[in-house]
Structure 1
Amino acid sequence: MADKGVPSQLSQLAKDSSLFSTASFHEHMKKKDTSSRSVLALGQEPDNAPKRRPRHVYENTYKTEPERKFQASKVKAIIEDVLEKNLKDEKYDPKSCRQLVKTLSEIVKGRVKDLDYKRYKIMTMVSIGQVNEQGFRMGSRCCWDAKWDTFATANFTNKTLFAIATVWGVYYE
């Protein structure tokens, strides 16, 4: 059974010991010959902690429905356009596709945000795989309001790869 006094002993040791003070560590390192030793870079010291941004307080709008509904047909056209332009001549490579899905996701999200759906949270997911006579299933689950929330999905295939992109528009009250 563990001794209940151990955590208090450790905290007392930390208070008493100069090893846990960043200022004393830097003083110690200045006094020593560090030409043949590596120096440990310490994290931000409490004195140099970044300042917090001021918190903005917004008044309630009491809007429970959007000014205009998320239009899946327009979003699907954007997804198809982005996939076609960026993947038309692309060959499947697992290492480059890892970065490519992130890039395509950001491009699609940016273009959908340009449609300016107020108070909608836009989420994107892009998957790329190798064409090799296999099946692929993708599913998603979410709590949402069927009246206002919706999604759009599109796919693309060339000789070496396939891509599936989905964008969800969830109204955020």
Structure 2
Amino acid sequence: MAKFAPAPSIAISAPSRGPSDIEEETSQLETMTTHSTSNNSESGRSSASIEPTYRMEPVTCFQDHTINKIVEDILYDEMKDKSYDSELCKEMAQNLAGKIMEKVKSLDVSRYKYVASVSIGSVREKPGLHISSRCLWNKKTDSSVTVNFMNGSLFAVVMLYGLYLE
């Protein structure tokens, strides 16, 4: 059985630093900070982290009435003359969700994350449809909007959730 010898103790003394050394280290730190927030070319995402603000409530809250109007306008403009086609519904739903998200994000309400769900179906087939969702959220800051649209051929249901990031 091998016996291990204790590691030798090493005394380290810190060299004295002058003001020029501190300025040089500060300059290096700023360079490192600038470098760390540059775009990551491999993933296309920024590697910058968000500094904590210690803010527990939003400055501007989720604006139900404004967002409801935006979603209604987009639904009406995009769907008023469309007819139901089961092959195109997936693409239409994705395009609607993208347009709604762009418009809502342009409101620039900071620290909110949005989730949009769009469902499209046929009116002629008279489907029985039940849509439900469950979310865990803060009732003071988080909210949702549900908008329905129907023409002679199809119906659409949009559910948009706004979740505050603390």
- Fold conserved (TM > 0.5)? yes
Which of residues 79, 86, 101 in structure 1 aligns to 2:93? 101
Q: Does 1:73 align with 2:59?
A: no
Could you tell me the percent identity over the aligned residues? 38
Matched pairs, number: 125
Q: State the match for 1:44 in structure 2.
A: none
Structure 1 residue 164: Cα displacement: 0.4
Q: State the match for 2:35 in structure 1.
A: none
For 2:44 and 2:153, how far apart are their aligned partners in 1? 48
Q: State the match for 1:141 in structure 2.
A: 134
Structure 2 gaps, min length 5: 1-41
For 1:130 and 1:88, how far apart are their aligned partners in 2? 14
User: Which structure shows the bigger proportion of residues in helix conformation?
Assistant: 1
CA distance 1:79–1:57, shift in 2 (3 Å)? closer
For 1:89 and 1:52, how far apart are their aligned partners in 2? 38
Give the aligned residue type for 1:67.
V
Compute the RMSD of aligned alpha carbons.
1.8
CA distance 1:52–1:116, shift in 2 (3 Å)? closer
For 1:54 and 1:121, how far apart are their aligned partners in 2? 18
For 1:152 and 1:85, how far apart are their aligned partners in 2? 18
Give the aligned residue type for 2:117.
M
For 2:43 and 2:113, how far apart are their aligned partners in 1? 28
Q: State the match for 2:106 in structure 1.
A: 114
For 1:53 and 1:142, how far apart are their aligned partners in 2? 28
Q: State the match for 2:143 in structure 1.
A: 150
For 1:136 and 1:167, how far apart are their aligned partners in 2? 18
For 1:160 and 1:172, how far apart are their aligned partners in 2? 39
Deviations 1:104-130 (A, max 9, x none): 000001101111110000110100000
Q: 3-state SS of the aligned residue for 2:87?
A: helix
For 1:54 and 1:83, how far apart are their aligned partners in 2? 33
For 1:165 and 1:148, how far apart are their aligned partners in 2? 20
For 1:141 and 1:166, how far apart are their aligned partners in 2? 12
Give the aligned residue type for 2:147.
A
CA distance 1:69–1:106, shift in 2 (3 Å)? same
Give the aligned residue type for 1:111.
K
